Structure 1
């Protein structure tokens, strides 16, 4: 058999395989969509049959579980039937369901009691194509609360200065505070250096991109920016595909200083001048630090809120008390 025939056979195989793989994916999506709708319908029927009769509901769950398991096999335990009931109660309008999400996604979502928060996570899971594991990680790392706290903090700074809300800027939805870097293996150390933190983030880049959020694409580490007489190096550079701009990140293991802000302001201006293209939006700079300082935040370029920001990071999940304080109507950061 000649080489040309082998190549031809391989090409035919690849084409056939691609067709079958595409059909398999379509079938899986169709099956998932059908099963999600079926579980929703089962939940609806249980809720309507039970009504206000709690005792009858317990009997009904047991009865259905026994008969359905006998006929359809595993998957219809009382616990699973209860999940279907909660599924209907959490999403009472079937048209709000998203075909892109699996039953496993919805089993996580129905545990989120607050409706606004639940719908937020559903939209984010679809938009960012989160796996079940990623959705679980974001829920347990308080992604919604951290994003809300960050937005509230930025709004509060404007309230204190001009007593009115500032129109949304292009950074709205970009920042979190704090960033939770609990996926890093720092061995419980507290004496790590900035280059240690940088290396750890590069080792777990996929998890870091997930924590950064939608739209971020990694560009470079220690990117060199050449000036007339010397060169400068930015810790981490990303491109935000939605905002169409570069995002520079400077890592600080201690408290932010005025010098840190001045340096990042310089980097952003230099990067705009030397590295961006005419169709790029202005560069954003984020100083990722262990601790923020209220005075530095108030009396430096950070207060302008026009492309330069400081955000904290933590190597462990924030407690509910810490998040509650962050969500207070007035932020202590700007009221000292």
Structure 2
């Protein structure tokens, strides 16, 4: 652990308020190290906690890059609120050979309050299976939220399998419809999130680059990362702090 004197001389009272709301010693130790090492402001520390940086670091290939990203944005942007991955163990899905997108959607609606907590600040539930129609063809958007901070609609498309390039085309259709028909004065353009079980990052890049609309592809996971993985990263970060 970092010496108490180091924390007192480095952090403000507001930093300590944020740290005290953490529920485990391991989490607090992680954020103490990172806030000192990266000289985070109170706002940056709160953003790291609210976006579950501690939990997500266990699944990230570029762990250092994820940490640095916290302080890289001065203005609020959609990617400050869109996570990757999302942890859906809170849904309590029973063990099955396979799940359907309807199973996942029903579980989310049944545990809507917990799902909103996982989504993060600002998400307000608006609709499920929102129907939009072109001629005689109907399409349904799985979940629709309005984000009170970003001032825009958030459209979520659920996929039980791996991301496919066709998924981005479908979401782009939804976003263009909302941009033209659902935006009101003061709204920002809608944001789309494709929530899938797995994805190939290269395919995602080619399928979504160059789009005017904000479109994110995020994985969902049904369990939290291994505690040993997180502890190993914390020990490595602590060693770097001692040597610097």
State if a TM-score over 0.5 links the two structures: yes
Higher RCO, 1 vs 2 (CA within 8 Å, ≥6 residues apart): 2
Offset at residue 167 of structure 1 (A):
10
Q: CA deviation at 1:90?
A: 6.6
Give the drift of 1:172: 2.8
Residues 228 and 106 from structure 1, CA distance in 2 versus in 1: closer, same or farther, beyond 3 angstroms? closer
Q: Which residue of 1 aligns with 2:131?
A: 224
Q: Which residue of 1 aligns with 2:141?
A: 234
Matched, 1:111 2:28: yes
Q: Give the structure with the higher percent helix.
A: 1
- Aligned: 1:92 with 2:8: yes
Aligned structure 1 segments of 4 or more residues deviating by more than 6 angstroms? 119-122, 124-128, 144-148, 165-169, 322-325
Where does residue 181 of structure 1 map in the other structure?
88
Structure 2 distance, partners of 1:323, 1:297, is 30
Which of residues 178, 187, 202 is equivalent to 2:109?
202
Question: Mind listing any 5+ residue stretches in structure 2 that lack a counterpart?
Answer: 234-244
| C-alpha distance 150-168 of structure 1, shift in aligned 2 (>3 A) | farther
Q: What pairs with 1:1-336 in structure 2 (closer than 5 Å)?
A: 88-89=4-5, 91-93=7-9, 96-98=12-14, 101=17, 105=21, 108=24, 111-115=28-32, 117=34, 138=52, 142-143=55-56, 152=65, 170-302=77-209, 304=211, 306-319=213-226, 321=229
Structure showing greater Rg: 1
Structure 1 pair 277–145 and aligned structure 2 pair: CA distance change class (3 A): farther
Q: Pairwise CA RMSD of aligned residues? A: 4.5
1:324: Cα distance to partner?
9.2
Q: Provide Cα deviations, 1:280-309, integer angstroms capped at 9, x if missing partner.
A: 111111100001124421321356484011
Deviation by residue 1:222-254 (Cα, 9 ceiling, x = unmatched): 112244444321101111111111110000000
| Contact kept? 1:254, 1:290, Cα under 8 Å | yes
Aligned to 1:58: none
Contact 1:100 1:126 in 2 (8 A): no
SS of the equivalent of 1:250 reads strand
SS at match of 1:198: helix
Q: Distance in 1 between matches of 2:231 and 2:144?
A: 29
Normalised to the residue count of structure 2, the TM-score between the two structures is: 0.71
Deviation of 1:185 after TM superposition, in Å, equals 1.2
Pair 1:306–1:116, CA change in 2 (3 A):
farther
> Residues 91 and 97 of structure 1 are in contact (CA less than 8 Å); yes or no, is this contact kept in structure 2?
no
Q: Deviations over 1:250-288 (max 9, x none)?
A: 000001111111101111111111112132111111100
For 1:103 and 1:150, the matched residues in 2 are separated by: 21
